Amino acid sequence: MARNSGARHRSGCPVSISLEVLGDRWSLLLIRDMMVRGYRTFREFQRSGEGIATNILADRLQKLEAGGILLREPAEKDGRSTHYRLTAKGIALAPVLLEILIWGAHHEETDAPRAAIEQMEQNRAAVLAETYRRWEQRDPTPILPPFTPSARPTSKSNSPKGKPRR
């Protein structure tokens, strides 16, 4: 169901418009953290291990809220703190995020446990059903825990200043 947000877009291309709403990698990682890891608070996002600066985090949360992807609400137990929650529009990104996760694990070296990815790949419908169930029931139990970095060989520096190239 298409909805006119009233925003002017660069083009009418659905991919371009989606990228305008989602923004950048930080936005997708925040959506991942809410959807897959059950994170709800600013502090949880900040401590996710991705290294996002607080000003960028605040900006992306605000942009995702403005785009209708998430909403802010008072915490159930303590109304003074804020919890972030995906909207129906936000949780509708679950199949996209699942495919990105599977694609990344297949085509890049990642810290994701291979067995877990294979299980998700073979049981896409069940993974999505569980993701939606947790969203509907406000269950913050992670579907996947944060990935533990493995010891990867580091590349030698070719930089004139001795810093590793990215």
Q: Is residue 83 within 8 Å of residue 72, measured between CB atoms?
A: yes
Task: Provide the pLDDT for residue 66.
Answer: 92
Task: Provide the pLDDT for residue 11.
Answer: 83
| CATH code of the domain occupying 14-136 | 1.10.10.10
Name the pTM for this structure: 0.79
Task: Provide the pLDDT for residue 7.
Answer: 65
Instruction: Give CA–CA dist 26/4, Å, rounded.
Output: 25
Question: pLDDT 10s digit of each residue in the chain, 166 long?
Answer: 555 555 677 788 888 888 888 878 899 999 999 999 999 999 999 998 889 999 999 999 999 999 999 999 998 888 788 999 999 999 999 999 999 999 999 999 988 888 889 999 999 999 999 999 999 999 999 988 777 766 544 444 444 455 554 4
Dump pLDDT digits (tens) for 20-35.
888 788 999 999 999 9
Q: Is residue 151 within 8 Å of residue 145, measured between CB atoms?
A: no
